[in-house]
Amino acid sequence: MTTSPTPENSPPSAAEPEPEPPLFDDAEDEGSRPGPKPWDPARIRIGTKTPTIREVADQIREGDIDLAPDFQRDFIWKQRQRTRLVESILLGIPLPAFYFNQEADGRYQVVDGVQRLSTIKMFMDGGHVLRSDDLEYLSDLADKAFGTLDPATMRRFRSTTLVVHVIEPQTPDEVKYDIFSRVNTLGSPLSAQEIRHAMSKGRSRGFLKHLAELNEFDEATANMFWRRNPDSTPIPIRDSHRMADREMVLRYCAFRDYDERYYRRFESLDAFLMDFTRRIDGRSDHGPNLSDAELDRLDKGFRQSMINASKILGKAAFRRWPTWSKRRGPINRAVFEAQALALAEYSLETLDPVQGKIVDRFRSLFNDPSFTRAVTAGTGDPANIAVRLGRTRDTLSEVLR
């Protein structure tokens, strides 16, 4: 079976190591369509609550507050950070406000404050011990777990009030999304996919996580590592950060049955992707919700696409790499959509005999300024979506004639 690129498509030799590029193509611009319309104050509901830690802990245990346990998984707090938070609470130092998203059924999803609430829950459940090296003022609490605190200290911790801003169900999703995109209380702003994840339900979280952790996806993105471990072994894209892997999976699924008329209902690409997430969760107000059979079809198509990308495109997969350039660009999400969707339509046996031609023709597309614009400038614009999806699909079809 032919799996190696043709000579003209070969990457730089091993004697000339290729520098590691940034994770995503910096030229890629999604902000092409008009932003959200001015907010209608009559439709916005943002309330502020001041529950005690005891009340919040009870709601977490009862499932009324969803911490989204794999949210911001690359930013899990260290031992010292957890201890300092507990110490701050016991010292009476006010914590930054939390942001919750409230669903129609009354349950809450934590959008900002996951690590703080996770730490509080861990401490109260006996999973964290206060170490002396990490305590700055309350040294008498060294080696204490929550259950070994004296009653007065335990009571003080439980009765501490938190400030929680709640975005209520009546607020439109696009407004919620815009609010949460501005949240930045303790570090880096939330990424677009982190916001979608926080506003989603278990069905979509589980499905996207499942696809992002497939071996086929790892193999297709084997040359996309943006950093390396100390022993020089590459780190998979799914362990990069900010849920980049799940965003790529979501974009594939959302564009799998792309309908431009449906897409134009939304004010932005982000709004379209949020709606697709809600369709998986069975909560969309715009389009049909997805059945188990439809998710199974997406699963199978994604697997086939990743197999084809690995075996046919190799190091040329999902990057801007014109035929005249010796150096590949970094990952481009718009290119990922176009190539992955085109490849999903065929079996490996169909593509393999013309593997070299496919690589050459896909790379030749980037010699055309109009195609390059479609994957770099205004990638959320319907016209550019049509160009990149259509040209890639048609190019593959022409090679197979």
Tens of pLDDT, residue by residue over 30-86, are 554 445 455 666 677 889 999 999 999 999 999 999 886 555 444 468 899 999 999
pLDDT of residue 331: 79
Unique residue bearing structure tokens 């032919």: 2
**Chain centroid offset of residue 131 CA:** 34
Per-residue tokens: 24? 């995503």
Is 129's pLDDT higher than 80? Answer: yes
- Which one has a higher pLDDT value, 281 or 225? 281
Name the nearest CA neighbour of 52 among 160, 165, 183, 208: 160
Q: What is the pTM of this model?
A: 0.76
Is 13's pLDDT higher than 50? Answer: no
Least confident interval from 25-29, 193-197, 325-329: 25-29
Is 204's pLDDT higher than 90? Answer: yes
Is 365's pLDDT higher than 90? Answer: yes
pLDDT of residue 95: 93
Average pLDDT over residues 335-360: 97
CB 313 within 8 A of CB 357: no
CA distance 361 to 342: 13
Q: Sorting pLDDT into bands at 50, 70 and 90, what band is 254? A: very high
- Which one has a higher pLDDT value, 22 or 245? 245
Least confident interval from 105-119, 146-160, 212-226: 212-226
CA distance 33 to 228: 36
Share of the chain above pLDDT 90, in %: 59
Residues ≥6 apart with Cβ < 8 Å to 113: 96, 97, 98, 99, 185
Exposure letters 213-222 (e unless 16+ CB within 10 A, then b)? ebebbbebbe
What average pLDDT does the structure give for the chain? 84
CA distance 133 to 377: 51
pLDDT of residue 90: 97
Q: Sorting pLDDT into bands at 50, 70 and 90, what band is 245? A: confident
- Local structure of 228: helix, strand or coil: strand
